[in-house]
Amino acid sequence: MKLSCNIDRRGQTARWVGGIIVDLCGLGVILTGVLADSRRILIAGVLLSVIGSFMIFEGVRGWCALRAMGIKTPM
């Protein structure tokens, strides 16, 4: 897949802001997992953080993985 720009400014902003929110939620879940000494919660938090980081990457690059695969997104 080529990483050429395939979303407009509105889509970039939505992915960037959404990524920050998901990343912060992941951080909260990671902290909860550490405090509760729960490996499952910790893994869920790490997954959320990875997803949020990928969303931020998409917003910064102006590239959407789903659109690159031919799936139409509403924004």
Residue range 52-67, pLDDT digits in tens: 999 999 999 999 888 8
pLDDT tens across 6-55, in order? Answer: 899 999 999 999 999 999 999 999 999 999 999 999 999 999 999 999 99
Note whether residue 45 is domain-resident: yes
Note whether residue 75 is domain-resident: no
| 15-18 contacts, C-beta under 8 A, 24 or more apart | 15/55, 15/56, 15/58, 15/59, 15/64, 16/55, 16/56, 16/59, 16/60, 17/59, 18/55, 18/59
Per-residue confidence band for 4, with pLDDT thresholds at 50, 70 and 90: confident
Residue 37 burial (10 A CB sphere; 0-12, 13-18, 19+): exposed
Q: How many domains is the chain built from?
A: 1
Note whether residue 34 is domain-resident: yes
Average pLDDT of the chain to the nearest whole number:
93
Note whether residue 37 is domain-resident: yes
Q: What percent of the chain has pLDDT over 70?
A: 97
Note whether residue 74 is domain-resident: no
Note whether residue 29 is domain-resident: yes
Which structural domain, as residue segments, surrounds residue 28?
Answer: 9-65
